[in-house]
Amino acid sequence: KQQYGSHQGPCLDAIEHSEVVISDDVTVDERWPVFGPAVESTGVKAINSFPLSVRDETLGALNLYSRRVGGFSDDSRAVATLFSSQAAVALANAKTHQSALELTINLQEALKTREVIGEAKGILMAREGVAEDEAFQMLRRASQTTNMKLRDIAQELVHKVAGGDGKVTAGHAP
């Protein structure tokens, strides 16, 4: 929290430069004149920040805190480096999965939208005796006139023709 408030600190530097940032005593570290004194009241002395990078993208940072000056050994830094590499891969995989899920949802919604617009065009073509392009233009004009989404206009038309209950009724047109 202190780093984001002061816009400086080892975590932010690790993310920005995609490099491990080590401070054996952050309270006197001249790289962060605002952050260091601000964190002193927390009891934190040493901070090591490891970028979570995959390929050329840094997704965040793993931060280790110690209440002792120089609180990290070379061995602990080596373990943290290995862990941060694995955490970066897991984070990148989670991000990829989330993107794929969002894409799937968007594509499903697009298919539903396309379907209902197609149904509405068909209704207008039959009812008004117009071609497909003119039926679409009618929907588009109604959308602009009412300031409603085209999909919502189409859904409303299909719903009305279906008698409001999802069942198509012969001769019942809006």
For the segment 150-168, the average pLDDT, to the nearest whole number, is 81
**DSSP character for 22?**
E
User: Taking the CB of residue 142, how many other CB atoms lie within 10 A of it?
Assistant: 17
Which residues does residue 51 pair with via DSSP β-bridges, in sequence order?
61
pLDDT tens per residue across span 38-95: 898 899 999 999 999 999 899 999 999 999 999 999 999 999 999 999 999 999 999 9
Question: Model pTM?
Answer: 0.66
